[in-house]
Amino acid sequence: MQSSAAVALLGLALVGLCSCASPAELRAQDEAACTGYGFQPGTPQFAECLQRESLARGGTAPALGLGMGFGFGY
């Protein structure tokens, strides 16, 4: 039992380490992608591309959903 818990904990730690990227690194990746698409830095189209890249990534902070939701639809 202890070995499976240790393996699970190690797996979670590795997943956490693999997904770490600073906001500056993410921005650099987005800029490289947009430049590669042919957009020129400093243009509105470049800014829109950066926004699309960021949204496609799904944000930079991991979300942990805790709590309970209740709702009624009519």
* Number of structural domains found in the chain: 1
Q: Is the pLDDT of residue 65 over 90?
A: no
Question: Rounded distance, CA 56 to CA 50, Å?
Answer: 10
Q: How far is CA 53 from the centre of its chain?
A: 10
- Say what the pLDDT of residue 3 is: 72
| Assigned token pair, 10 | 């190690």
> What's the whole-model pTM score?
0.54
Q: 41 lies in a domain?
A: yes
Identify the domain containing residue 31 by its residue range: 20-59
Q: 31 lies in a domain?
A: yes
- What are the pLDDT digits (tens) for 12-62? 655 555 568 899 999 999 999 999 999 999 999 999 999 999 999 885 455
Q: Is the pLDDT of residue 73 over 90?
A: no
Q: 7 lies in a domain?
A: no
| Burial classification of residue 34, based on how many CB atoms lie within 10 Å of its CB (0-12 exposed, 13-18 middle, 19 or more buried) | buried
